[in-house]
């Protein structure tokens, strides 16, 4: 931490002062500032408009960083620059976007990936997914919302895509008192997006799809699946969305696949995606828990079951109920697995630690009279990098488990 040269105010940002000692976590690399860490006596949060830029400073007046402020949110500021000579402007945004793009290009040739993953790419509150010449963005903070036009201009300068579509319909925006809206920044927005994943190709709905339309975070785990698919396997893809897991399994030797999802529209895309990859899936439009119970009552058995549910734990207060839901879902899945079957159990809940998902799987196994061996653990794909100082950026867990009848 240092004091910025006077000559670099552009213009001078207002000061947001921390309480004594509250800079330690920030000095270690985190970028979130909580409202209870602010010295509101000297710098009242009520004096800041949502999205305004400020200089975060310590009690000793040391410069911590330039941050965007939202006085109405628990996370009242997020640091975007720690360089006192580099305020937040178009040049900074373009440099961050270019750096993020260089990583994704290094990871693979196909122009289908998460281009920007918020804090991990030093652009807190911003997500950009690339679908060829179409960029789909989501903004989750008042600070990034205030910079939206600058971000759009920077996207054009760095990549010049045909389309930038802001799909700002996430519930996370409500925490920042932002409206849930979707609109094009530029270009003609297509109804669907096209994705290439390995040798497979998929279509997914854009405006009506989940998140930005696709789940790039699971790409690496779907690639891992190939080695575990038995020839002629019967596959159950639970919370399948548009069928990416099921189609991957079918193209790697499975004979039959069921997709279960609460969205009929998503299941129609699953059938479309299976057909375009030379396969076919059966679909079941139902709640995941009810579907698994129904399949068990029908005497169905599967060699491979994939559980990729939405987050059951979105806040700390959801932990007990969420843990019970993960146990129950895994127990129902184990009841449908044939002997020597494979379970792929995933969770995208940050508040569920990896060892807690393992505990849920093991508890389900004991109650089901099954023996489970974890063969491999996966996380989010490398286009969702983890910031080592921000544990919240590591959220996805995927365990590949062999399941047999309990012995001993």
The pLDDT assigned to 138 comes to: 98
In 139-239, where does DSSP find H-type helix?
142-146, 148-158, 219-225
H helices of 2-147, in order, are: 24-27, 90-107, 142-146
Q: What is the pLDDT of residue 114?
A: 98
Contacts of 252 (CB under 8 A, 6+ apart): 225, 226, 229
What's residue 11's pLDDT? Answer: 54
Question: Confidence band (pLDDT; 50, 70, 90) for 366?
Answer: very high
- Identify which of 324, 308, 305 has the alpha carbon closest to the alpha carbon of residue 370: 305
- What is the percent of the chain with per-residue pLDDT over 90, rounded to a whole number? 94
What's 4's DSSP letter?
P
**What are the structural domains of the chain?**
6-81 (2.30.130.10), 90-190 (3.30.750.80), 198-405 (3.40.50.150)
Rounded to an integer, the average pLDDT of 250-259 is 98
Query: DSSP letter string over 213-270?
Result: SS-GGGHHHHHHHGGG--TT-EEEEET-TTTHHHHHHHHTT-SEEEEEES-HHHHHHH
Please give the pLDDT value at position 5.
42
Question: In the chain, what percentage of residues exceed pLDDT 70?
Answer: 97
Residue 7 has pLDDT above 70, yes or no: no
pLDDT of 328 above 90: yes
Predicted TM-score (pTM) of this structure: 0.94
Query: For residue 8, is pLDDT > 60?
Result: no
> β-strands 234-238, 200-205: how paired?
unpaired
Give the integer Cα–Cα distance in Å for 405 and 15. Answer: 63
Catalytic machinery residues? 348
Residue whose C-alpha is closest to residue 69's, from 90, 89, 44: 44
Q: Taking residues 313-342, what's their average pLDDT?
A: 96
Pairwise CA distance, residues 246 & 207, whole Å: 23
Asked if 118 and 124 count as a contact pair (C-beta separation under 8 A), the reply is: yes
Q: What is the rounded average pLDDT of the residues 240-262? A: 98
What tens digit of pLDDT does each residue of 54-87 get?
A: 999 999 999 999 999 999 999 999 999 999 999 9
Q: What is the reported pLDDT for 1? A: 52
pLDDT, tens digit, 9 for 90 and up, residues 178-232: 999 999 999 999 999 999 999 999 999 999 999 999 999 999 999 999 999 999 9
CA atoms of 299 and 316, how far apart (whole Å): 37
Under a CB-based contact definition with an 8 Å cutoff, are residues 346 and 182 in contact? Answer: no
Average pLDDT over residues 314-342: 96
Q: Residue 12's pLDDT is what?
A: 67
Of residues 20, 33, 30, 107, the one with CA closest to residue 62: 20
């Amino acid at each position: 931490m240092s004091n910025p040269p006077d000559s670099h105010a552009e213009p001078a940002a207002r000061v947001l002062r921390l309480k004594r000692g509250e800079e330690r976590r920030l000095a270690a690399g985190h970028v979130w500032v909580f409202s209870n860490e602010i010295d509101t006596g000297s710098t009242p949060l009520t004096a800041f408009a949502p999205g305004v830029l400020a200089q975060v400073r310590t009690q000793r007046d040391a410069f911590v960083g330039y941050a965007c402020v939202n006085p109405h949110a628990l996370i009242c500021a997020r640091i975007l620059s720690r360089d006192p000579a580099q305020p937040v402007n178009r040049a900074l945004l373009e440099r961050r976007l270019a750096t993020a793009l260089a990583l994704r290009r290094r990871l693979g040739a196909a122009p289908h990936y998460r281009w920007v993953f918020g804090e991990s790419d030093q652009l807190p509150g911003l997500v950009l997914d690339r679908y060829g010449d179409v960029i789909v963005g989501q903004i989750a903070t008042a600070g990034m919302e205030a910079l939206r036009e600058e971000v759009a201009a920077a996207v054009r300068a760095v990549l010049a895509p045909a389309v930038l579509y802001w799909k700002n319909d996430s519930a996370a925006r409500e925490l920042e008192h932002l409206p849930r809206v979707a609109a094009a920044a530029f270009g003609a927005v297509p109804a669907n997006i096209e994705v290439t994943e390995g040798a497979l190709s998929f279509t997914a709905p854009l405006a009506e799809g989940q998140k930005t339309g696709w789940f790039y975070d699971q790409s690496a785990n779907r690639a891992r699946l190939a080695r575990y698919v038995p020839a002629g396997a019967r596959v159950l893809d639970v919370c399948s969305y548009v069928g990416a897991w099921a189609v991957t399994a079918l193209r790697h030797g499975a004979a039959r696949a069921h997709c279960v999802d609460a969205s009929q529209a998503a299941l129609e895309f699953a059938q479309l995606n299976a057909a375009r990859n030379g396969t076919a899936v059966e679909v079941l439009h139902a709640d995941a828990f009810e579907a698994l119970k129904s399949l068990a009552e029908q005497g169905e058995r599967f060699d491979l079951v994939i559980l990729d549910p939405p987050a059951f734990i979105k806040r700390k207060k959801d932990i007990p109920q969420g843990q019970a839901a993960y146990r129950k879902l895994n127990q129902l899945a184990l009841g449908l697995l044939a002997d020597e079957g494979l379970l792929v159990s995933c969770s995208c809940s940050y508040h569920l630690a990896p060892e807690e998902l393992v505990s849920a799987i093991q508890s389900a196994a004991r109650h089901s009279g099954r023996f489970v061996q974890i063969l491999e653990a996966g996380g989010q794909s490398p286009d969702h990098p983890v910031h080592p100082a921000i544990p919240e950026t590591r959220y996805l867990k995927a365990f590949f488990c062999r399941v047999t009848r309990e012995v001993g």
